[in-house]
Structure 1
Amino acid sequence: MDAFSGCTAHLAPVGTADVVRDESWDEADKAERGEAGYTGPGSETDAHVAVYREAPPAGDEAVRPACIQSGDVQAVVLHTRKTAEPATVPFHQTVILQHQLLG
């Protein structure tokens, strides 16, 4: 049986708290797309990216998941870090690079 049910807010890895949308990603993404009617790679017509963060309280190891949907391919990006949430910038860079590879 395939345990992966797709890219949704219910994708929290076993042993972690629930995940919630990463609002900082959503705001930056909206601002980026709003400039000059952007429709290039990463636009809604091309692929879908959903970035999450672990809802408090996080356990001993914090997890930042992201899902990228491009055509019939679903990619899951996970960053983990003990005792603290994974750094935002390296995580967002990883998501952007993975998205560019799939786009």
Structure 2
Amino acid sequence: MSDDKNANQLCGKVEQSYLIIGRKWVALIIHALMEEPKRFSEIHAYIPDLSKRVLNDRIKELEEEGIVVRHVVTERPVRTEYMLTRKGTELGRALGAVEQWAEKWL
């Protein structure tokens, strides 16, 4: 019985992960943040087809999931940057395998 429970928990976690990364633009936002923190406008410039409203929504969702963190840089001029958390960086690395697959097969 515990094997069934563990399998169900694993399936639930896998499903939850696909619900997160399956949202349109999420993988590209994570990809944009893999190299370094970026301001909202830099993310938008990286993904120009993404509307600012949807970008704002996705960033909030990723913050709620603990994948992205908003950081206010107090230097002059004050600016807000978004960066991946450790959880987000690990997800970005996993998505890197998908990128390699896409380069090879698409």
TM over 0.5: no
| Higher normalized strand content (fraction of residues) | 1
Larger radius of gyration: 2
